[in-house]
Amino acid sequence: MEGSSMTHQIQSTVASIAKGWEAQIQKLLRKENMDRLKALDFEMAHGELLASVLGICVLRVVYNLYFHPLAGFPGPFWARASLLWRFWHTMGGRSHRSIQQMHQRYGPVFRVSPNELSFGSVNSWKAIYGFPSPGAEHLIKGEFYDIYGSGFKTGCIGSERDPAVHARKKRNLTADFSPKALAAQESIVQGCLDRFVDKLGPLTRKGGGKGINMADWLEMVAFDILGEMAFGEGFGCVEKEDHHAWLDLILGHLFEITVVDNLRRVQFLAALGRWLLPWLTVRVRKKHSMFSRAKVKQRLEAKTARQDFLTNLVSKVHSGAVPEEEMTAHASTLIIAGGETTATCMVAAVYYLLKSPPALEKLASEIRTRYTSYSEIDANSALQLPYLQAVINEALRIHPPGSQGFPRVSPGCEIDGFWVPKGAEVYTSAWTVTHDPKNFHEPMEFKPERWLDQKTTDVKEASQPFSLGYRACIGRNFAYLEMASCLSKILFKYDMELVNHDLNWEAASRCYVMWWKAPVMVSFKERLHEPGIMMLSRLFSLSLLGSLVHASCPASNRTAAAIAACNALAASFPTQLYLPNTTDFIDQAAAIWSQTCLITPNCVLEAGSASDVATAVKLINAAGSEFAVRSGGHMPVPGAQSVQPGVMISMSGLNQNTLNTDKSVASIGPGQTWIDVYSRIIQYGLAVNGGRYPSVGVGGLLVGGGIGFFSSTRGWRCDSVVAYEVVLANGHVVTATAEGDYADLFWALRGGHNHFGIVTRFDVLTFPAGPAFARTIAWNASAGAGVSDAFFDALDAYMAPGGGVDDPDVAIIPTVAFAPGLDLYEVITAQIAFGTDPAPAAFENFTKIDGPTTLDDGGKVFDSWTWLPLALNGTSSRDTRDFFWAVSFKPDPRAISIANKTVIDLAVGVLPATAAVAFTYQPVSKAWLTASQAAGGNVLGLDPEEGTIIAGLIAGQWVDPADDDVMFAFARNATAEIERQTKELGLYHPFIYLNDAGPGQKPFAAYGSGKSLPKLLSLQKKYDPKGFFKNYLAHGFALES
């Protein structure tokens, strides 16, 4: 203790002396004192200043080596003692290599400067940049970002250091970077790329064999694209064949950031820099911000409906919700970060492909096989080319745009097994991690195949070019869109050759925050490719063989089969077959409820009748193409409603709503949502046991089972179907009913999904739509434990025998919603009772909960039940990313509590800042199952004698695609943990409801206590003997024995 106290005393003394001398130097360097120094005898002033500086240096070296909080970390002497090592290597532009060498010498962490640590391990990525564990603090961005965002009065999305403020600012931009928004913006990007690609051949010929500098040209086209996307107009670099002045200024700005980042670490040097180098630290920043302000002013004054990166921000600035200065700062960082990083990756891809002829040949073959003409190339199809994606990922690995690392400030935490004191600057060296042989075999070699090899030992998560966690790059999807499109167009149109064969591009380049790229001289020669008619002829020939070879074909042949199917469909349905880049195609392909499922097919057929579907099935079968059928597109399972490569059959043209003579049966087309059905039948005073939410599609809901408000008296929604019109795998159209030749098919379609045929019409029982009461209440459960306790007490009472769950005239949707990043924890009930009672006794325990509410519509008695779902029409958005995951258990208070606690415990510290999750307790009562059995039964096959169960639904909602892995991992982990704990108590139920299931879950396994599956497999063989639907039709969930 005594030694420790003495050390602390010495440490404090040395530090205070050094700070005192630094203060004196600061005082000397104030402008008024510098003016006085000029008037003093030069030698006296020089001597005083020199003595002070030397004194500080000696004390600082002693302090840094022996008493600094980071003194125990290894590193080169000059890095531990001073800033000299850092200054020398960063100003030389090769610090990424120097840092890599030091990691090879000192291990996973070393001191770059006295208060700065570089980490070189995979684990450090998540520790520094990932979501903090529960109760832990964020590692916020360091002072470096104040320099990065200087020139503006507010931080931008890249420079804002406060996590809460950053989250708000990111929300203002997120919608413009969503897949839907990017699809709307794609034509702008493609137009810029086309102008660029068109110039490559003529410029090569004009250069007389010298080639063109792709480092320059790819910077210019990226800059033009960012100008279009951020300001509504390009900079004309490609058209004028020259850099814009702002582009040159940006490169200078990056060098300036490096200089000032070094100077700011020593106060008196920062002051000296401001006095001696105003041209460097002020002029460049002011000129850069001046360009931004002028362009933003133009953008705000422009009258345009065109979608771009700032569309939402413009409206918010006009309304006063966002300051103009904030928009200007955002635009500035989009230009710097978006243009330079994307250009760097594309130049790297071109250079390394040219240095690796086998990879170039393989990529060119993939692109030229996929497309029959240049005009076919678009982002969605390019993004589906596996080897192209591997090339991009490898270029990002071998030459990461942010090679130096992204600095963060430690709050006092452990990073990869090392305790890092509070205030230390830390980062992961991207170059070191991606070039470590422990992570990547032969790391200096360009090997795109490593990203396709499932058996590789390479640690792919070591490459994080877009960072990760809540500060991950918002423009990731846009960057991939631009890079995939650009490389596809270049390699489809040209053969290319490296002029300077001996170039070592990385060694010749320099990194100042981002890369100063050495010239890459390339010559381009236009290639001769087959005319479109010849390729079409070949594809039609392939279509005849497609069904024979498809199962063993590589991706290129699968694509060819899809193109052949599209061609055949186009001949039969010239006005109903939509190809990419047309308005109808975009409308149909994007009509998916969840952005997680947005997959772009090769073409879309909008069927208008059962005959259309039958013809399409025959043509697709002949071509051997994969395909998907989309009804309402509400299932949030990627690959369930669309496919790539392949054909989407849209059922939106099958939208009939007719009643039989006595109005007891409604014939409903599968291509509509339930609001279409309800809007039609309400005029007759009728109802059907349909969707609770009107945005849900008819087809998927009914073939998946269906939970409804009337389930306690009418069973599952599929139990109300009395006939199916269905197209079989052989293209025949049949009608399946409970009796007759297709009685077994009728049973299979009641919950068996789309494994047996494509339903083109549902005949559903109607009933009088009497009055009903509805009320929705949401309580703020974060206000105190009493609110949530009261809610779960009420829920336990409702689920208990004799409680509301046994009342056939009431229904409830109890939900817990949690969004830690938004400080939201709510408990919610949607209450429905049939009749005119404005205060049903079944809900009394809920309505008397004493706590703050965030929503209470007060309750209302509607004249007709059908008005209830119509009132919910505004509650569903198609602009977010979503998951569903199903887990079931008995209605025991312990199980109910486990579900709530598990979701909350696993969400804290894991969910992205703007994400939300919910758990919905859906009671499947004994009365419900009895009614289902009385209606003839179904595939789900739950036994009423087992009593009530809770079909739990875990739902998640978020915006940023970069958060997909985190959200899906949360869903899997939460489901597994609830299953584990309820099993231990004997409360688990194996039922997994298909319409609420998540990717990888197996709903059919437990249907009918395991008895349904063997029968379904037998019927699959009967109705799909050649396995066409089994192998070619997208299902979402397979029948697995």
Handedness of CA 260, 261, 267, 269 (dihedral sign): negative
Options 3.40.50.1820, 3.30.43.10, 3.30.420.40, 2.60.40.2130; CATH of 532-650: 3.30.43.10
Q: What is the CA radius of gyration of the chain?
A: 32
Classify the phi-psi angles of 856: left when phi > 0, otherwise alpha if psi is within -120 to 50, otherwise beta: beta
Give per-residue pLDDT as tens, 424-438. 999 999 999 999 999
CA distances to 24, 268, 276 from 28, in Å: 6, 9, 14
- The candidate with the shortest Cα–Cα distance to 213, out of 525, 526, 517, is 517
Residue type, 884: F
Give per-residue pLDDT as tens, 38-75. 444 545 555 666 676 677 778 889 999 999 999 999 99
Q: Does residue 473 have a known ligand-binding role?
A: yes
What pLDDT, on the 0 to 100 scale, is given for residue 875? 45
What pLDDT, on the 0 to 100 scale, is given for residue 276? 46
Instruction: Give the whole-angstrom CA distance, residue 124 versus residue 227.
Output: 35
Confidence label for 534 from pLDDT (cuts 50, 70 and 90):
very low
- The candidate with the shortest Cα–Cα distance to 414, out of 404, 424, 406, is 424
Answer whether 196's CB lies under 8 Å from 217's CB. yes
Scored b (16 or more CB within 10 A) or e, 506-536 reads beebbbbbbbebbbbbbbbeeeeeeeeeebb
Q: Which residues contact 6 (CB under 8 A, 6 or more apart)?
A: none
Domain boundary assignment for the chain: 1-67, 166-526, 532-650, 778-1011
CATH superfamily of 166-526: Cytochrome P450 (1.10.630.10)
Instruction: Give the whole-angstrom CA distance, residue 932 versus residue 378.
Output: 49
> Which of the given ranges, 567-571, 747-751, 827-831, has the highest pLDDT on average?
747-751
Going by CATH, does the domain composed of 778-1011 fall within 3.40.462.20?
yes
Q: 44-53, 328-337, 811-820, 827-836: which range is least confident on average? A: 44-53
What pLDDT, on the 0 to 100 scale, is given for residue 556? 62
What pLDDT, on the 0 to 100 scale, is given for residue 575? 87
Give per-residue pLDDT as tens, 475-516. 888 899 999 999 999 999 999 999 988 999 999 999 888 888
Question: Which backbone phi and psi does 503 adopt, to 5 degrees?
Answer: -65, 130
Q: 111-125, 767-781, 915-929: which range is least confident on average? A: 767-781
Residue 794 has pLDDT above 90, yes or no: yes
N-terminal to C-terminal alpha carbon distance within the chain = 68
**Running DSSP on this structure, what letter comes out for residue 518?**
P
CA distances to 129, 258, 887 from 973, in Å: 22, 43, 12
Percent of the chain with pLDDT over 70: 87
Confidence label for 528 from pLDDT (cuts 50, 70 and 90):
low
Higher pLDDT, 1034 or 893: 893
Beta-carbon neighbour count of residue 14 at 10 Å?
A: 18
Instruction: Give the whole-angstrom CA distance, residue 759 versus residue 359.
Output: 46
Which H, E and C letters describe 891-947, residue by residue? Answer: CCHHHHHHHHHHHHHHHCCCCCCCCEEEEEEEEECHHHHHHHHHCCCCCCCCCHHHC
Answer whether 433's CB lies under 8 Å from 457's CB. no
Task: Tell me the three state secondary structure of residue 1021.
Answer: helix
514-516 and 510-512: which strand pairing?
A: antiparallel
Residue with tokens 């609110």: 787
Cis peptide before 999 (omega within 30 of 0): no
Confidence label for 216 from pLDDT (cuts 50, 70 and 90):
very high
Beta-carbon neighbour count of residue 801 at 10 Å?
A: 10
Classify the phi-psi angles of 514: left when phi > 0, otherwise alpha if psi is within -120 to 50, otherwise beta: beta
- The candidate with the shortest Cα–Cα distance to 468, out of 507, 434, 428, 431, is 428
Q: 12-21, 763-772, 816-825, 909-918: which range is least confident on average? A: 12-21
Structure tokens belonging to residue 757: 């045929």
Instruction: Give the whole-angstrom CA distance, residue 504 versus residue 502.
Output: 7
Task: Tell me the three state secondary structure of residue 513.
Answer: coil
Scored b (16 or more CB within 10 A) or e, 293-318 reads bebbeebbeeeeeebbbbbbbbebbe
Answer whether 414's CB lies under 8 Å from 127's CB. yes
Structure tokens belonging to residue 792: 């779960």
Question: Matching CATH topology for 532-650 and 778-1011?
Answer: no
Instruction: Give the whole-angstrom CA distance, residue 330 versus residue 292.
Output: 9
Give per-residue pLDDT as tens, 910-963. 888 889 999 999 999 999 999 999 999 999 999 999 999 999 999 999 888 889
Confidence label for 193 from pLDDT (cuts 50, 70 and 90):
very high
